[in-house]
Amino acid sequence: MRRYTIVLTPDLENGGYVVDVPALPGCHTQGDTLEEAIANAREAIAVWIKSAEKHGEEVPEELAPPQVVTIDVAA
């Protein structure tokens, strides 16, 4: 069992969520609901890992979760 952080960003234009997996370069998906986005993320991560293993590439482990911080900026 592997553990990865996913970042879910609301898609304000189309609705739903865009999902990024910071530890796995190029691993992205989306979903119309939060539940669908999370389910799609699980599937995208599994496919990403299988593809990397098939091609003999290293599968990154997430040693520490990324931090998301909201800041204010005077502009």
- Which pLDDT score is estimated for 30? 98
Which of 16, 68, 61 lies closest to 39 in space, CA to CA?
16
How far is Cα 41 from Cα 19, in angstroms, rounded to an integer?
Answer: 7
Q: Which value, in Å, is the radius of gyration of the alpha carbons in the chain? A: 14
Q: What is the pLDDT of residues 7-62, one digit of tens each?
A: 999 999 999 999 999 999 999 999 999 999 999 999 999 999 999 999 999 999 99
Class of domain 1-75: alpha beta
Residue with tokens 């898609």: 11
Return the DSSP state at 42. H
